[in-house]
Structure 1
Amino acid sequence: MKLYLDPGHGGSDSGATGNGLMEKNITLDIALKIRSILNSEYRNVDLKMSRTSDITKSLDQRTNEANAWNADYYLSIHCNAFNGSVRGYEDYIYIGLSDSSQTAQYQDIMHQEITAVNELPDRGQKKANFHVLRESAMHALLTENGFIDNPTDAAKLKSSAYRQKVARGHVNGLARAFNLEKVAPKTLYRIIAGSFQAKENAQDRVDYLDSEGIPSFIDQVTISGQVWYRVQAGAFSSRSNAEQRLAEVKEAGITDAYIDVEGNDGSGGNEDSEEEVSGYSIMGPGMLSPEQMDRFARSVNPDAPLLGHYYQTLGSFYGIRGDVAFAQALHETDYFRFTGVVDKGQNNYAGIGATGPDNSGASFDTPKDGVLAHLQHLYAYASTKPLPDGHPLVDPRFDLVTRGSAKDWVGLNGKWAVPGDRYGQLILGLYENMVKVSIQQLQEVLEQIKIS
């Protein structure tokens, strides 16, 4: 199934505004969450987005692109506004279609699934002469996800956890309407070696485990509204392997360590609200091999270029987590499918200098130079030290960065991407999925070796 996903407005067109929110930002975040769920949970979904950042794009450009791509479905995400007193959700198909049309049948399904989870008054299924519905050659739906100028609806839309629910409702509708095949779920056993309210205490635990030869990292979670910094010391698809690691952690003196079971619904057993991923510094060693990075990219896009080697070796040269930078490149390029303003031939994997349709950013002579520029740009943000000798400076915006202004990935919010209030979290969420998939694949190989 080929889905053209259209976050409404963008760039100079803010869309509706109210209660400190702009429609263009809300619609982009919901659309990116839809993309993330589809890419990680479903097979055989080919997805193109009208925009993946805050750019200006005309309605003609959007529908022409969808038509030229021969999409099967056009899904346009919007928010509403009126006079501040109206609330609720509604969706639209083209006014010239009958109630018995296939598009109307898809609308029935989408409406049912979205309203089942979005906690908004149901304003009904409607028809209109909107450009994206009229000019798109495929089945099309436009959703209006609450009134941004209504305080009650806006309070919900301000929450990332709520926007995740809205995205989930859209995905549920797509999965049901188009009979999408879900990736077989697997149980993951994560070793939790302590939870702390002070991040420095969590870092002390990570440093101690490292001294004992046990790799770990900090994972930020929210439980009943309270932020905790949780130390994770491994994740396994095999319970026996998880128990072995748990024994090692306890032998190191962490007697309160435990196994957190991530079930088939994708949620852990000890959280009761949305999990936030943070705590990764930009500088540091990577965990994934080039083969693991490339395999993950090609599991989504079979034509993805093999760049894992460059991200590992050049990342190691600059002391940057090359595998997380690789995840950033996946996010920026839509798994190297280049569905945004940057063209494949630019070798610009980080969107450096790209600001909109009229400015697609920098171009680099080779894929290696593109990766080199990406890592140099990260080095500028993460370090105040001079750029190490050994490679030429190819990042054209290196000297424009406020040096050392983003020590970790979440620190890139509002800097690398504008407004980008969850830019770093999206990258780390994708990276966490990369690690999870790689662990599962490795465990499957080891289990096959045992069997044979």
Structure 2
Amino acid sequence: MKLYLDPGHGGSDPGAGGHGLKEKDIALDIALKIRSILTTQYENIQVKMSRTGDTTKSLSERINEANAWGADFYLSIHCNAFNGSARGYEDYIHTGLSDSSTTATYQNIIHAEVIKLNQLQDRGKKKANFYVLRETAMHALLSENGFIDNAQDAALMKQSSWRQKVAQGHANGIAKAFNLKRKQQQDDPDTGTEYKVIAGSFKSRDNADERVTFLRSKGIESFVDTVSISGVTWYRVQAGAFSSLDNAEKRLEEVKMTGIRDAFIIAEDSRGTEDVEIPSGYSILGQTFLSPEHMNLFVKNINPDALELGIYYSTFGEYYGIRGDIAFAQAMHETDYLRFTGVVHPKQNNFCGLGATGPDNPGASFETPKEGVLAHLQHLYAYASIKPLPDEYPLVDPRFDLVARGSAPSWVGLNGKWAVPSTTYGQSILGLYEKMIINARENLENVLKEVKG
């Protein structure tokens, strides 16, 4: 089945607006979510989108593309506007079609599935002579997902979880109408989770638009996603949404290569619930995403007197190809947020418990905090890689040669090795890293609120 998915408006055409929202942004986010659900959860479906970013495209260009591609179904996503008092959901097929037509049957099915989830008043199934319904060579439906100028509908539109529900309703309807077969879970371990790359979050819409313009100049498509956090409206610049975490990481790296440092990844499940759950098989080797400043802010929220080690974990993490921010989380786990409430003493500069076995043996000591972090990263490198240790820095890890090289390529692989006999050591580190990501996002939003407000 070939679906041509058309988020309405875009670029120089914002569509309707109201309550700090633009139709083009809401439509695009819903459409991207529909694509993600369908392509990750169902077999034998191809999705082509008229746009995946904030780009300008004429109606004739969209129709010609869909017709030339030979789509089986054309779905156009929109939001409505009237006078601020109208509310609800409605969808349209072409006025020349009968109620017994195949297109009308598809409308009946999709309409019913959307209404189940979208929390909007049902304004009914309608017909119109819209261009995208008249000129398409395939079955076509246009949905109007709430009134953007209505305060109650707009409040829903600001919620990512609501947009996810709307997308899920459309996807459920398409799957039912076209008898799509659901993929087996083992063939698709990422089913239901979407990883979004957020390239900045702003209180000012103008600042968010400037970031989008900058990214587009660098060849990276993005758009502004409006969210409400603790009753405050934020404009988040989304630079991609992926069913694969690896692909999201690649896009995040592309964004950071442009000089943007306040980018991060969020994960969203099929219900629209945002989280930052890190897969248990997450590798030790990989990219460091959190900045040194974010690492330092995280620990200082708990221990204001903590050393600022972020720059060392970032620098050595990049050099050895190790996820330095997760190594930092491991250090926080080992040292109780640098308060050293265990057997290791602060003056040892031993941030990962190297060689510590008990009160009578507090482990290795290092001359400086920098050297202590270096030893930590070298010890992780021994576990994660079988390659020779790069030689720019001297070997300061006294236990490097005691490690079975490459025996723990993932963080949970450290279970029973770094911590004995713990079976949840790696999971604890990843859980702490999740908190670091959330904290980084909150700190960024607070800083931007002060600067921009």
> Structure 1-normalised TM-score?
0.45
Larger radius of gyration: 2
